[in-house]
Amino acid sequence: MAHAENEVTINRPASEVYAFLADGLNNPRWRSGVQGIALKEGSAGELGAIYSQTLTGPKGRPIQGDYRITDAGPGKLLGFQVVAGPARPTGSYTLTEEGNSTRVRFSLDLKLPLLMRVFDSLVTKTMESEVAQLTKLKEVIEAG
């Protein structure tokens, strides 16, 4: 299984960080590969909501990366499952409030089919690049 995770501390309360993450329309502000996003189904940030997302794929080509919110614990946990596109990882943001700051752990997991396991290191590298963008998330949220 391909796995990647990263952690950052953001100088904002967990409720504020969670609200920002839960609204998928904020993704282009901190995730460089998001070309466009729209709420496709459900209510923004709520359990079961589906976001239609266009990402930058190999050689700059657009690919779909639609996802559904699978866990919604305000201020604590936001989970998702990618439901469209070539790779369909699960992911989560785990938030831990520490005084006036919030520790955010972003993890991604992808179970590759047997025939695709030769690409495990390439997929893991791509996922590591994605979770590394927490640094940008910190900058954006702290800047207000």
We report the CATH number of the domain holding residue 137 as 3.30.530.20
Q: Is the pLDDT of residue 117 over 60?
A: no
Mean pLDDT for 7-22 is 98
Phi, psi of 28 (to 5 degrees): -65, -20
Question: How far apart, in whole angstroms, are the C-alpha atoms of residue 101 and residue 21?
Answer: 15
Question: How far apart, in whole angstroms, are the C-alpha atoms of residue 84 and residue 57?
Answer: 13
Specify the number of domains making up the chain. 1
Q: What is the mean pLDDT of the chain?
A: 91
- Identify each DSSP E strand in the chain by its residue range: 2-10, 34-41, 50-56, 62-64, 67-73, 77-82, 90-98, 101-110
Find the domain containing 136 and state its range.
2-143
pTM above 0.75, yes or no: yes
Longest CA–CA separation in the chain, Å: 47
pLDDT band at 47 (very low <50, low <70, confident <90, very high): very high
pLDDT greater at residue 96 or residue 121: 96
